[in-house]
C-alpha cells in the first residue's frame, strides 16, 4: 500500500485514492497474538510434528473436523444451514462436510461464489439500476470481476492446491507498464521503469549530497555516512559527483541489439522539480505491500475455478441457489431459516447456522439474534468498486507497447488499467479498462454500460493511442455496490474485527455463527473468507463435540 500508517479497519490511501485495506501494522499485531502458539509450533517442528515455525505463522493452526471425531466419541454430526454461498459459506460447508456434517447452503444468487465472479461470453447480469448486460467475450476470454490476484502467503493458494485448481503467475507490477498523471500536466504516459529511475535517482542524489555535506552528522557516524553514500550511488545510479544524470534504467528509444546497434538511451531527463511535480513517486511503495508484492497468482481459466471446485467438493445437492433468506430465528434448541425460492416460501430447521452473507445484507434480514448483533452489523459499512473488461481483437499492448501483463496506474477516474496475465501472444485479450473505488466507481455505475465503455475508452486512448478504441471488440462492466444480494465490493470494519463492538459477531449468537472476510484482518481478500470460515468451523465443531 502506498501509505501504511493507518490502523486496521481505517481507510487507506492507495496512490491518490482511498480504499479499504488491512494495514501491515494490524497484520503484525495478529502475528504477535499468535506468538505463543508459534513458539510451541517451532518446538513441534523441531520434533518433526508440525510444519516449521515460519509456516505456522501464516495463521492459527487449523485442523479440519474428521469423521473419526464422531465415531470415536459416539456423537452424531449435526445439521447445519449455511446462509451465503460465497467463499466463506462454501468453505464452512466444505470443512464441516469432511466430518460428515449435514450441511445445506442457501445462496441468494443463481450461482455460488459471491463476489468471486468470473465473466465469460454468454454470462449475464442485471444490476440494481436495472442495467442488463450479456458478455460477448470470445471463447477463453474472461474478466475476473471480483478477486483477481493471490499473494503467496495467503491460505487461498493452499485451497487451490487441496482442490486441484491450477494456478499461474499474475503480473501485479511491470516495469514496462505506464504511469499517467494527467492532472500533473502529463500529456503522454511514462514507463514505470523510467519514472522509477528518476525518482530513485533524485532522492538518492539529494540524500547523498546532504550526507556528504555533513547535514546528517548528528544521526550518522563517519562510517555510516560513507556506507550510506555508497548505497545511494548504487540505488540511484549516481555519478562520481553524486549527481543523477539518467542512465540505462530509464530505458531506450532504440534498444541495444546486434553489433552496430548499441542502443539509444531515452533522452530528456527531467529535472528534480519536474519529477516531484509529476507525482509519479506515489506509485512505487505499492510493490512493497505485504499483500501486493510479486509474484502473485491467479487460477488458470478464471478465479471462479475456486468456488466451482468448492461447490463440487461440498456436493451440488447440498447447495440451493436462488434461495433468498427472509428470516433467521434461533429457537434455543436449533435454528429456523426462512427463505423464498422460485416464488415459494420455505423453511429449513437445523442444529446450527453459519451466517456467511454480507453484513449489510444480513442487517436487513429479520432475526432474533439481539440488538448487539444488529448494532455490530450496522457499524460495518459497504464499499464500492467496479471493473470493466475491454475485449480486444488483437493484443496490441504486447505487439506495439511490449507490455506483457501488469498494471498501468493513472490519476484518472479509471484508476488502474490491468493487462492480462495469461494468453500471451494469443489472438485476443481482455484488458481491465478500469478498476476503481468509492466515488469513481459509483460515478461509472450510474452510467449505462455503453457510456461506461465510452468514458473508459476515452481515458485509455489518451494513454495508449487509437488502438484502444479501434481494436475494441466488446466490453462488460461490473459494479459491486449495485449488485443484488451483495451490494458491496468489500466492507470497512472500523477498529478492526477484534474491537469489542464486534464481539457479538466473532462469537456465536445462540446457535448462529458468523463468517466472512469482513470479520477478518484481511477484508477484501478471499484469505479473509477462508480463515474466518475455518475459525467458525473450529468453534462450531468444538461446541458440537462438547455438547
Shortest Cβ 180–ligand PHE spacing (Å): 19
Burial-class residue 386 by CB neighbours within 10 Å (0-12, 13-18, 19+). buried
Q: Which is nearer to ligand PHE, 20 or 397 (CB)?
A: 20
Binding residues among 20-39 for ligand PHE as defined by CB under 6 A: 21
- Residues numbered 445 to 504 that lie near ligand PHE (CB under 6 A) are none
Instruction: Check residue 387 for interaction with ligand PHE (CB under 6 A).
Output: no
Cα-based distances in Å from 10 to 3, 179, 195: 12, 27, 30
The DSSP result for 424-483, as a single string, is: TTSS-EEEEEEEEEHHHHHHHHTS-HHHHHHHHHHHHHHHH-THHHHTEEEEEEEEGGGS
Q: Which residue has the cell 461447490?
A: 311
Residues 187-246 that bind ligand PHE (CB under 6 A): none
Which position among 99, 525, 528, 535 is part of the footprint of ligand PHE (CB under 6 A)?
A: 525
Q: Kindly tell me the burial class for residue 317, based on how many C-beta atoms sit within 10 Å of its own C-beta (0-12, 13-18, 19 or more).
A: exposed
The 3-state secondary structure of 107-170 reads CCCCCCECCCCEEECCCEEECCCCCEEECCCCCCCEEECCCCCEECCCHHHHHHHHHCCCEEEE
Of 291 and 409, which CB lies nearer to ligand PHE in the complex structure? Answer: 291
Q: Report the half-sphere exposure of 19 (CA within 13 A, side-chain side).
A: 23
**Given the complex with ligand PHE, which of 235 and 286 has the nearer CB atom?**
286
Identify residues 279-338 at the interface with ligand PHE (CB under 6 A). Answer: 291
Q: Phi first, then psi: what are they for 472, rounded to 5°?
A: -65, 130
**Could you tell me the smallest distance in angstroms from the CB atom of residue 540 to ligand PHE?**
27
Q: Which of 283, 383, 435 is nearest to 19 (CA)?
A: 383
Q: How far is the CB of 199 from ligand PHE (least distance, A)?
A: 22
* Of 204, 173, 163, the residue nearest 287 (C-alpha): 173
String of DSSP letters for 61-95? ------HHHHHTTTPPPPEEEEE--BHHHHHHHHH
Subset of 2-21 contacting ligand PHE (CB under 6 A): 19, 21
Q: Which is nearer to ligand PHE, 176 or 291 (CB)?
A: 291
Min dist. Cβ of residue 517 to ligand PHE (A): 9
- The least CB distance from residue 148 to ligand PHE, in Å, is 7
Of the pair 242, 488, the CB lying nearest ligand PHE is at: 488
- Mind giving me the DSSP string for 416-427? EEEE-SS-TTSS
Task: Kindly state the smallest distance separating residue 69's Cβ from ligand PHE, in Å.
Answer: 34
Q: How near is the Cβ of 19 to ligand PHE at its closest, in Å?
A: 6
Taking the least distance from each CB to ligand PHE, the nearer of 97 and 299 is 299
Residue closer to ligand PHE, measured from CB, 93 or 154: 154
Determine which residue in the list 314, 357, 524, 537 makes contact with ligand PHE, applying CB under 6 A: 524
Element (H, E) at 274: helix 272-278
149 lies in the binding site for ligand PHE (CB under 6 A): yes
176 binds ligand PHE (CB under 6 A): no
Q: Which is nearer to ligand PHE, 156 or 474 (CB)?
A: 156
Closest contact distance (angstroms) between CB of 300 and ligand PHE is: 19
Is 89:105 a contact under the CB 8 Å cutoff?
Answer: yes
CB of 464: closest distance to ligand PHE in angstroms? Answer: 22
Q: Which is nearer to ligand PHE, 396 or 418 (CB)?
A: 418
Q: In degrees rounded to 5, what are phi and psi of residue 179?
A: -125, 140
Number of Cβ atoms within 10 Å of the Cβ of 316:
10
Q: By CB under 6 A, how many residues form the interface with ligand PHE?
A: 6
Q: How far is the CB of 436 from ligand PHE (least distance, A)?
A: 11
Query: What span, in angstroms and rounded, lies between the C-alpha atoms of 496 and 30?
Result: 11
Nearest residue to ligand PHE, by Cβ distance, number only:
21
- Which residues are at the interface with ligand PHE (CB under 6 A)? 19, 21, 149, 291, 524-525
Amino acid at each position: 500500500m502506498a501509505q501504511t500508517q493507518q490502523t486496521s479497519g481505517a481507510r487507506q490511501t492507495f496512490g491518490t485514492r482511498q480504499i479499504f485495506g488491512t494495514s501491515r501494522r494490524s497484520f503484525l499485531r495478529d502475528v504477535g497474538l499468535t506468538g505463543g502458539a508459534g513458539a510451541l509450533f517451532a518446538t513441534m517442528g523441531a520434533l518433526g510434528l508440525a510444519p516449521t515455525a515460519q509456516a505456522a505463522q501464516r495463521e492459527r493452526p487449523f485442523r479440519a473436523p474428521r469423521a473419526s471425531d464422531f465415531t470415536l466419541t459416539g456423537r452424531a454430526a449435526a445439521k447445519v444451514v449455511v446462509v451465503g454461498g460465497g467463499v466463506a459459506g462454501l468453505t464452512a460447508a466444505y470443512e464441516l462436510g469432511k466430518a460428515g456434517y449435514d450441511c445445506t447452503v442457501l445462496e441468494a444468487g443463481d450461482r455460488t461464489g459471491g463476489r468471486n465472479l468470473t465473466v465469460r461470453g454468454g454470462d449475464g447480469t442485471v444490476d440494481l439500476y436495472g442495467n442488463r448486460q450479456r458478455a460477448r467475450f470470445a471463447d477463453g476470454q474472461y474478466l475476473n470481476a471480483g478477486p483477481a490476484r493471490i499473494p503467496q502467503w495467503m491460505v487461498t493458494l493452499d485451497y487451490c492446491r487441496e482442490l486441484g485448481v491450477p494456478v499461474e503467475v499474475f503480473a501485479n507490477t511491470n516495469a514496462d507498464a505506464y504511469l499517467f498523471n494527467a492532472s500533473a500536466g502529463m500529456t503522454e504516459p511514462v514507463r514505470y521503469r523510467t519514472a522509477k529511475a528518476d525518482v530513485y535517482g533524485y532522492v538518492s542524489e539529494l540524500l547523498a549530497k546532504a550526507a556528504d555535506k555533513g547535514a546528517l552528522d548528528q544521526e550518522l557516524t563517519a562510517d555510516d555516512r560513507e556506507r550510506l553514500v555508497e548505497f545511494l550511488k548504487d540505488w540511484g545510479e549516481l555519478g562520481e559527483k553524486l549527481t543523477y544524470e539518467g542512465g540505462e534504467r530509464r530505458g531506450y528509444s532504440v534498444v541495444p541489439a546486434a553489433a552496430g546497434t548499441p542502443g539509444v538511451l531515452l533522452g530528456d531527463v527531467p529535472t528534480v522539480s519536474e519529477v516531484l511535480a509529476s507525482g509519479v513517486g506515489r506509485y512505487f511503495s505499492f510493490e512493497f505491500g505485504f499483500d501486493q508484492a510479486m509474484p502473485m497468482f491467479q487460477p488458470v481459466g478464471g478465479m471462479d475455478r475456486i468456488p466451482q471446485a468448492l461447490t463440487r467438493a461440498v456436493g451440488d445437492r447440498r447447495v440451493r441457489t436462488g434461495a433468498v433468506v427472509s428470516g433467521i430465528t434461533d429457537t434455543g434448541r436449533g435454528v429456523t431459516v426462512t427463505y423464498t425460492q422460485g416464488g415459494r416460501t420455505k423453511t429449513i430447521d437445523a442444529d446450527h447456522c453459519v451466517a456467511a452473507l454480507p453484513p449489510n445484507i444480513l442487517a436487513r434480514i429479520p432475526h432474533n439474534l439481539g440488538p448487539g448483533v444488529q448494532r455490530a452489523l450496522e457499524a460495518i459499512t459497504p464499499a464500492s468498486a467496479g471493473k470493466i473488461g475491454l475485449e480486444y481483437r488483437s493484443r496490441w499492448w504486447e505487439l506495439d507497447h511490449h507490455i506483457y501483463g501488469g498494471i498501468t496506474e493513472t490519476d484518472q477516474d479509471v484508476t488502474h488499467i490491468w493487462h492480462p496475465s495469461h494468453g500471451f501472444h494469443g489472438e485476443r485479450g481482455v484488458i481491465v479498462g478500469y478498476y476503481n473505488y468509492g466515488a469513481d466507481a459509483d460515478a461509472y455505475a450510474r452510467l449505462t454500460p455503453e457510456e461506461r465503455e465510452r468514458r473508459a475508452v476515452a481515458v485509455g486512448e489518451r494513454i495508449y493511442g487509437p488502438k484502444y478504441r479501434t481494436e475494441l471488440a466488446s466490453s462488460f462492466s461490473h459494479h459491486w455496490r449495485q449488485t443484488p444480494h451483495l451490494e458491496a465490493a468489500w466492507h470497512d470494519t472500523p477498529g478492526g474485527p477484534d474491537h469489542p463492538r464486534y464481539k457479538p459477531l466473532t462469537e456465536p449468537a445462540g446457535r448462529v455463527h458468523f463468517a466472512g472476510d469482513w470479520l477478518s484482518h484481511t477484508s477484501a481478500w478471499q484469505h479473509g473468507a477462508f480463515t474466518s470460515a475455518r475459525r467458525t468451523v473450529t468453534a462450531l465443531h468444538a461446541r458440537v463435540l462438547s455438547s
